[in-house]
C-alpha cells in the first residue's frame, strides 16, 4: 500500500484528502504544520507528499527544500490557493514535482498521484545509465547531476525530461509529446513543461538565458544538443 | 508571504532609485550655476542697458535712413520717365520737393546737362557747388540702377548728396545727383524720429567732428559714459552717430542693484520650492506604493480566502457526488461542512462587497430602531458552530434592558461577525471568547474579548487601516483579507459611534474591542457593569 503524507493546516481539507485517498487504498498520514510534516517523513517515511504552501509555522517552499535535502526522489505535489505563474516556478524550483491549485478536483488529484506512481515504477532505469551533455554528467538512477565537480539533485520529472530529450537528441520534441510521455495526463499544461525546462537549464547550461544544450524550437518544443 | 512585483511597482522603484536623486542633483546644480550666472550678469549693469537699448536705437537709425532715401529715389524715377523719349532733352524742370534743395543731371561723360533750380541767383552758386562736388563723387563705382551716398562735413554743417547711374532705352547713359535739404532732414525729420526714443532714453546725434546735430549733449560725466550707447548712421549719413543714455542713471542703477539682490533670492526660493515639491511627490509616491502593495496583498488574501471555502465545497461535494465516502454518516458530515463553508464564503463576499461600496463612497445604510440584544443573539448563533469546532467557549453577558438603538441591522451584524471571527482567528489558543453588551454614556457598548497573544501597542492604531494586517497574523499565516476591522470602524462611525481596542486587557493577555453606539432616547445613566437582574450570561 502506497503511503501519502499530507502537510496541510486547514483541518477540513486535510480531512477530505485523507478520506478520499484512504478510499483509494492509500495509507495516509497528516501533519498540520511544516516542521511536524518534515519530522513525520523522517520518522515514518512516505511514497509521496502533498504539501500546502501556506503553513502556520514554516513556509511551504522551505518545507519542500528541507524534504529535498533528505529525500531527493520522493514526488512532492504542492497544493495551494496561489495560482500565479511566479509561485508555480518558485514551487518547482524548490523541488516540487507538480503544482495543484485550489479549488481542485479530488478525482484529478488522485489521477495525478496514480500517474506519478505508475511512471515512477516504470521509469526507473535498470542499469547505471549515464547521460553526458557537454561537461555535465547525469546519473538518472541516482537522480544526480554533476557539473564542474558540483553535484546537484534532480527531481523525478527533471530526470524523465532529460531522458526523453536525450533519447531524441538532435531532434525537436514537441511540448505535446513531452506532456504525453512524461506527465501522461491532460491536467498538466504545456506551461509546466516550460517551467521544468527553465529549471533544467539553470542546472545544465552555463548561461540559462542563452541556452546551448536545451534549445527552444519556436512554436514546437525543445531540442537537446549534446 | 512572497509579494509579486508589478510593472508600475518596478517603474516607481526606478523613479525612487534614479530619477529622484538625479532631479535633486539637477536642482542643486541649477542653483549653483544660477548663483554663478547671477554674479556674472550683475557685474556690468551697463551691459543690461545696452542690451535693452540697442535694438531700439538700431531700429530708429534704419527707419530714418530709409526715409532719407525716399525723395531722392522718387526724383530718380521721375527723371527716368522724362528721358524715356529718345529725343527728349533734359530740362531739370521737375520739382523734387522740400527734402531736396538741388539736383543735377549729367551725361555719360559726366558733363552737366542741367541742374535745378535754374534761376539766375541760385544758378551761379549751385554751379560752383556742383563743379566742386562732381570731382568728389565716385561715379565709376555706381552701377546702373543703384545709388550711392556722399556725406561730408563742411564748416560744422553736413552735406548729403545721393547719386545714381541710369540708362535710357536707347542705351545712353546718364547720372543724377541730388543734394538733400539738411534743414528738413537734419532738423525736422531727425527730431520726429528721435521723439520715440526720448520716452525712455536721452538721445543725441553728433557728427564725426563732435558737433551736436540734434538732441542734448551726452557722455560728459563718467557715470553717464558707462551707460552711453552709440550707433552710427551707417548707410546714408555715415558721418553721424546716434548716442543714447538712460533718462535717469540713478534710477536705472538702483533697479539693477535691486535685481542683483533679488536674483539670488529667487534662485534660492525656486530651488527650495523644487526640492520641497520633489519631497512632497516622493512622499505621495511612497504612500501610493504602500497602498498599492497593501491592495495587492489584499487581492492575494481575498483570493486565498475565497479559494479555501470553495475548495472545501468542491472537494466534499465531489466526494459525496462520486460516492467516495465511508457511509451515510460521513456524507452527512460532508454536507454540514459544505453548508458551513458556504456561509463562510457568503460572509466573506458580503465583507468584500460592503468594502467595495465603502471604497466607492456609496455605502449607505437603512437606519431603524432595533433591539441590539436580540440582534447580538442572532449573530452569535451563526458563530457557535465554528466556535465549537475551534474548541473555544463563548461567554456572553448581555443587558436585556437596553434602550433601542438606531442602526442598520445588516451592517451591525457584519460588525459582530467580524469581531467574533477575529477573536476566533487570532486567539485560537485562548480557550474563551467573551462577548458582552451593556450601557455606556449616551448609548450602548458591544465588547468582544479574546484571550490570545494580543496586539502590539504600535499596531493598535494601524489595525483599523484598510488592508493592514497585524504582524502576528502575517507571520502565522492566519487567513484574513485586512478589511474586517476597517469595515467595523467605518460602520461604527457611520452610526455615530466609534470602535476602540485595548491590549493587554487589565494586565491579562488578549485583546478587547469595544464598539460604542449612540442610543438617543431615553436619557441613559452610566452603568459600567450590566445589571444582574437583566443580564443573560
To which residue does cell 511514497 refer? A47
CB atoms within 10 A of CB B170: 10
Q: Mark B442-455 as b/e (b = at least 16 C-beta within 10 Å).
A: ebbbbbbbbbbbbb
Q: Write out pLDDT tens, residues B81-117.
A: 888 776 666 678 888 999 999 999 998 888 888 888 8
Q: Write out pLDDT tens, residues B411-423.
A: 899 899 889 988 8
Strand partners, A79: A52, A100
pLDDT at B183 over 80: yes
Query: Which is more confident, B379 or B355?
Result: B379
Helix (H, G, I), strand (E, B) or coil at B115: strand
Determine, for residues A12 and B337 on separate chains, whether the beta-carbon distance falls below 8 Å. Answer: yes
Determine, for residues A13 and B311 on separate chains, whether the beta-carbon distance falls below 8 Å. Answer: yes
Q: Is B494 on the interface with A (CB under 8 A)?
A: no
Of all residues in chain A, the percent with pLDDT exceeding 90 is: 32
CA distance A156 to A141: 10
Question: Which residues from A are below 8 Å from B476, CB to CB?
Answer: 56-57
Q: Looking at residue B88, what is its pLDDT?
A: 63
Query: Which is more confident, B265 or A41?
Result: A41
* DSSP assignment of chain A: --EEEEE-S-HHHHHHHHHHHHHTT-EEEEESSHHHHHHHHHHH--SEEEEES--SSS-HHHHHHHHHHH-SSS-EEEEES---HHHHHHHHHTT-SEEEESS--HHHHHHHHHHHHHHHHHH--SS---EEETTEEEEGGGTEEEETTEEEE--HHHHHHHHHHHHTTTSEEEHHHHIIIII-STTS-HHHHHHHHHHHHHHH-SSTTS-SSEEEETTTEEEE--
Query: Which is more confident, B32 or B144?
Result: B144
Binding-site residues on chain A for chain B (CB distance < 8 A): 9-10, 12-13, 16-17, 19-20, 23-24, 54-57, 81-82, 84, 86-87, 90, 101-107
Residues 6+ apart with CB under 8 A from A68: A76, A94, A95, A153, A155
Q: Is B24 on the interface with A (CB under 8 A)?
A: no
Over residues B383-393, mean pLDDT: 80
Question: Which residues from B are below 8 Å from A56, CB to CB?
Answer: 476-478
Query: Which is more confident, A28 or A220?
Result: A28
For A114, the grid coordinates are 496514480
Over residues A3-11, mean pLDDT: 92
Among B177-186, B207-216, B221-230, where is mean pLDDT lowest?
Answer: B221-230
For B340, the grid coordinates are 458551513
Name the average pLDDT for chain B. 81
pLDDT at A13 over 60: yes
CA A162 from chain centre, in angstroms, equals 13
How far A112 CA sits from the closest chain B CA (Å)? Answer: 16
Q: Write out pLDDT tens, residues B163-179.
A: 999 988 888 889 999 99
What is the edge-to-edge ordering of all strands in the sheet holding B173-180? B112-116, B100-107, B173-180, B157-167, B147-154
Over residues A112-119, mean pLDDT: 83
pLDDT at B22 over 80: no
Q: Looking at residue B160, what is its pLDDT?
A: 94
Q: Work out whether strand A76-80 and strand A48-52 pair parallel, antiparallel, or are unpaired.
A: parallel
Over residues B184-199, mean pLDDT: 87
Do A41 and A4 touch, CB atoms closer than 8 A?
no
Over residues B377-381, mean pLDDT: 88
**Band of the pLDDT at A122, cuts 50, 70, 90?**
low
Q: Is B284 on the interface with A (CB under 8 A)?
A: no
Q: Which of B324, B335, B345, B425 to mutate to test the interface with A (most CBs of A within 10 A)?
A: B324
Among A31-40, B102-111, B469-478, where is mean pLDDT lowest?
Answer: B469-478
pLDDT at B467 over 80: no
Q: Write out pLDDT tens, residues B487-525.
A: 898 889 888 899 999 988 888 888 999 999 998 655 444
Query: Which is more confident, B122 or B537?
Result: B122
**Band of the pLDDT at A126, cuts 50, 70, 90?**
low
Determine, for residues B311 and A107 on separate chains, whether the beta-carbon distance falls below 8 Å. Answer: no
Do B451 and B426 touch, CB atoms closer than 8 A?
no
How far B502 CA sits from the closest chain A CA (Å)? Answer: 25
Question: Which residues from B are below 8 Å from A104, CB to CB?
Answer: 311, 314-315
| Of residues B303, B311, B319, nearest to A19 (C-beta) | B319
| Ramachandran region, residue B171 (left: φ > 0; alpha: ψ -120 to 50; beta: rest) | left
Among B35-39, B60-64, B167-171, where is mean pLDDT lowest?
Answer: B35-39
Question: Which residues from B are below 8 Å from A93, CB to CB?
Answer: none
Q: How many CA atoms lie within 13 A of A106 on its CB side?
A: 28
Q: Looking at residue B36, what is its pLDDT?
A: 66
Determine, for residues A13 and B324 on separate chains, whether the beta-carbon distance falls below 8 Å. Answer: no
Of all residues in chain B, the percent with pLDDT exceeding 70 is: 84
Do B242 and B61 touch, CB atoms closer than 8 A?
yes
Using H for helix, E for strand and C for coil, what is the string for B247-276?
CCHHHHHHHHHHHHHHHHHHHHHHHHHHHH
How far B318 CA sits from the closest chain A CA (Å)? Answer: 7
Among A4-13, A36-45, A150-159, B47-56, where is mean pLDDT lowest?
Answer: B47-56
Residues 6+ apart with CB under 8 A from B481: B298, B301, B302, B305, B348, B351, B352, B467
Query: Which is more confident, B221 or B390?
Result: B390
For A47, the grid coordinates are 511514497
Question: Which residues from A are below 8 Å from B334, CB to CB?
Answer: 16
* DSSP assignment of B364-392: ----EEE-HHHHHHHHHHHHHHHHHHTT-
Determine, for residues B311 and A56 on separate chains, whether the beta-carbon distance falls below 8 Å. Answer: no
Residues 6+ apart with CB under 8 A from B411: B354, B365, B491, B494, B495
Determine, for residues B308 and A81 on separate chains, whether the beta-carbon distance falls below 8 Å. Answer: yes
Determine, for residues A103 and B310 on separate chains, whether the beta-carbon distance falls below 8 Å. Answer: yes
Quick one: DSSP state of residue B140? G
**Band of the pLDDT at B340, cuts 50, 70, 90?**
confident
Which among A43, A28, A8, A200 is positioned nearest to A113, based on CA atoms? Answer: A28
Determine, for residues B477 and A90 on separate chains, whether the beta-carbon distance falls below 8 Å. Answer: no
Query: Which is more confident, B264 or B79?
Result: B79
Determine, for residues B477 and A55 on separate chains, whether the beta-carbon distance falls below 8 Å. Answer: yes
**Band of the pLDDT at B532, cuts 50, 70, 90?**
very low
Q: Looking at residue B41, what is its pLDDT?
A: 53
Which among B423, B483, B455, B457 is positioned nearest to B297, based on CA atoms? Answer: B483
Q: Closest-CA residue in chain A for B315?
A: A106
How far B313 CA sits from the closest chain A CA (Å)? Answer: 9
Q: How many CA atoms lie within 13 A of B156 on its CB side?
A: 3
Query: Which is more confident, A141 or B166?
Result: B166
How far B340 CA sits from the closest chain A CA (Å)? Answer: 11
Question: Which residues from A are below 8 Å from B326, CB to CB?
Answer: 19, 23
CA distance B254 to B368: 76
Helix (H, G, I), strand (E, B) or coil at B245: strand
Could you say which residues from 431 to 490 on chain B have a Cβ atom under 8 Å away from some Cβ of chain A? 476-478
H or E stretch covering B447: strand B443-450
Determine, for residues B308 and A10 on separate chains, whether the beta-carbon distance falls below 8 Å. Answer: yes
Question: Which residues from B are below 8 Å from A84, CB to CB?
Answer: 4
Question: Which residues from A are below 8 Å from B303, CB to CB?
Answer: 81
Which among B9, B24, B17, B18 is positioned nearest to B280, based on CA atoms? Answer: B24
Strand partners, A77: A50, A98
CA distance B449 to B434: 5
Q: Which of A63, A83, A106 to mutate to test the interface with B (most CBs of B within 10 A)?
A: A106
CA distance A159 to B244: 95
Quick one: DSSP state of residue B121? H
Among A83-92, B76-85, B132-141, B470-479, where is mean pLDDT lowest?
Answer: B470-479
| Of residues B311, B319, B326, nearest to A102 (C-beta) | B311
Among A179-188, B156-165, B304-313, B519-528, where is mean pLDDT lowest?
Answer: B519-528
Question: Which residues from A are below 8 Å from B330, CB to CB?
Answer: 19
- Based on its alpha-carbon atoms, the radius of gyration of chain B, rounded to whole angstroms, reads 51
Amino acid at each position: 500500500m502506497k503511503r501519502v503524507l499530507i502537510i496541510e493546516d486547514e483541518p477540513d481539507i486535510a480531512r477530505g484528502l485523507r478520506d478520499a485517498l484512504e478510499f483509494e487504498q492509500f495509507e495516509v498520514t497528516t501533519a498540520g504544520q511544516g516542521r511536524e510534516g518534515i519530522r513525520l517523513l523522517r520518522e515514518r517515511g512516505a511514497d509521496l507528499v502533498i504539501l500546502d504552501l501556506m503553513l502556520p509555522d514554516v513556509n511551504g517552499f522551505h518545507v519542500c527544500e528541507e524534504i529535498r535535502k533528505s529525500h531527493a526522489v520522493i514526488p512532492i505535489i504542492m497544493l495551494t490557493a496561489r495560482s500565479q505563474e511566479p509561485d508555480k516556478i518558485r514551487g518547482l524550483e524548490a523541488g516540487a514535482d507538480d503544482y495543484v491549485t485550489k479549488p481542485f478536483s479530488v478525482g484529478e488529484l488522485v489521477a495525478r498521484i496514480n500517474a506519478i506512481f505508475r511512471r515512477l515504477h516504470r521509469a526507473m532505469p535498470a542499469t547505471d545509465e549515464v547521460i553526458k551533455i557537454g561537461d555535465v554528467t547525469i546519473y538518472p538512477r541516482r537522480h544526480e547531476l554533476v557539473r564542474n565537480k558540483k553535484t546537484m539533485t534532480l527531481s523525478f520529472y527533471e530526470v524523465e525530461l532529460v531522458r526523453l530529450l536525450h533519447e531524441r537528441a538532435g531532434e525537436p520534441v514537441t511540448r505535446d509529446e513531452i506532456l504525453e510521455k512524461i506527465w501522461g495526463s491532460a491536467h498538466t499544461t504545456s506551461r509546466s513543461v516550460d517551467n521544468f525546462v527553465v529549471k533544467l537549464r539553470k542546472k545544465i547550461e552555463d548561461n540559462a538565458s542563452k541556452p546551448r544544450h536545451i534549445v527552444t524550437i519556436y512554436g514546437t518544443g525543445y531540442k537537446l544538443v549534446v | 508571504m512572497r509579494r509579486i512585483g508589478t510593472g508600475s511597482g518596478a517603474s516607481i522603484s526606478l523613479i525612487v532609485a534614479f530619477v529622484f536623486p538625479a532631479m535633486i542633483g539637477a536642482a542643486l546644480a541649477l542653483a549653483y550655476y544660477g548663483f554663478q550666472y547671477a554674479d556674472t550678469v550683475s557685474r556690468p549693469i551697463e551691459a543690461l542697458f545696452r542690451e535693452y537699448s540697442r535694438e531700439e536705437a538700431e531700429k530708429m537709425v534704419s527707419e530714418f535712413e530709409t526715409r532719407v532715401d525716399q525723395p531722392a529715389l522718387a526724383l530718380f524715377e521721375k527723371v527716368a520717365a522724362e528721358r524715356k523719349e529718345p529725343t527728349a532733352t533734359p530740362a531739370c524742370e521737375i520739382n523734387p520737393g522740400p527734402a531736396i534743395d538741388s539736383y543735377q543731371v549729367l551725361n555719360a561723360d559726366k558733363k552737366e546737362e542741367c541742374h535745378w533750380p535754374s534761376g539766375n541767383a541760385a544758378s551761379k552758386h549751385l554751379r560752383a557747388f556742383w563743379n566742386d562736388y562732381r570731382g568728389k563723387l565716385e561715379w565709376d563705382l555706381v552701377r546702373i540702377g543703384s545709388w550711392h551716398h556722399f556725406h561730408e562735413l563742411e564748416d560744422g554743417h553736413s552735406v548729403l548728396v545721393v547719386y545714381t547711374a541710369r540708362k535710357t532705352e536707347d542705351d545712353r547713359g546718364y547720372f543724377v545727383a541730388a543734394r538733400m535739404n539738411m534743414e528738413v532732414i537734419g532738423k525736422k525729420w531727425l527730431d520726429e524720429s528721435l521723439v520715440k526714443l526720448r520716452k525712455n532714453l536721452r538721445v543725441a546725434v553728433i557728427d564725426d567732428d563732435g558737433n551736436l546735430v540734434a538732441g542734448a549733449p551726452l557722455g560728459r560725466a563718467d557715470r553717464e559714459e558707462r551707460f552711453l550707447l552709440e550707433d552710427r548712421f551707417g548707410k546714408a549719413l555715415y558721418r553721424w552717430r546716434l548716442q543714447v543714455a538712460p533718462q535717469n542713471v540713478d534710477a536705472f542703477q538702483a533697479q539693477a542693484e535691486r535685481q542683483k539682490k533679488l536674483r539670488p533670492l529667487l534662485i534660492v526660493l525656486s530651488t527650495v520650492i523644487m526640492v520641497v515639491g520633489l519631497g512632497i511627490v516622493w512622499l505621495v509616491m511612497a504612500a501610493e506604493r504602500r497602498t498599492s502593495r497593501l491592495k495587492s496583498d489584499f487581492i492575494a488574501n481575498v483570493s486565498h480566502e475565497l479559494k479555501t471555502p470553495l475548495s472545501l465545497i468542491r472537494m466534499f461535494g465531489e466526494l459525496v457526488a462520486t460516492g467516495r465516502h465511508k457511509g451515510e454518516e460521513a456524507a452527512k458530515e460532508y454536507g454540514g461542512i459544505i453548508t458551513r463553508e458556504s456561509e463562510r464564503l457568503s460572509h466573506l463576499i458580503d465583507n468584500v462587497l460592503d468594502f467595495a461600496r465603502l471604497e466607492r463612497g456609496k455605502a449607505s445604510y437603512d437606519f431603524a430602531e432595533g433591539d441590539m440584544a436580540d440582534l447580538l443573539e442572532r449573530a452569535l448563533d451563526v458563530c457557535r458552530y465554528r466556535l465549537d469546532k475551534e474548541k473555544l467557549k463563548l461567554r456572553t453577558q448581555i443587558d436585556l434592558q437596553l434602550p433601542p438603538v438606531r442602526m442598520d441591522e445588516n451592517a451591525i451584524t457584519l460588525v459582530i461577525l467580524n469581531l467574533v471571527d477575529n477573536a476566533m482567528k487570532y486567539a485560537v489558543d485562548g480557550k474563551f471568547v467573551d462577548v458582552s453588551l451593556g450601557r455606556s454614556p449616551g448609548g450602548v457598548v458591544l465588547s468582544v474579548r479574546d484571550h490570545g497573544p494580543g496586539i502590539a501597542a504600535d499596531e493598535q492604531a494601524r489595525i483599523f487601516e484598510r488592508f493592514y494586517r497585524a504582524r502576528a497574523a502575517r507571520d502565522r499565516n492566519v487567513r484574513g483579507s485586512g478589511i474586517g476591522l476597517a469595515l467595523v470602524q467605518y460602520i461604527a462611525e457611520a452610526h455615530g459611534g466609534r470602535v476602540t481596542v485595548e491590549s493587554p486587557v487589565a494586565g491579562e493577555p488578549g485583546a478587547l474591542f469595544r464598539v460604542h453606539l449612540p442610543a438617543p432616547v431615553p436619557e441613559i445613566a452610566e452603568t459600567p457593569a450590566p445589571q444582574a437582574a437583566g443580564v443573560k450570561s
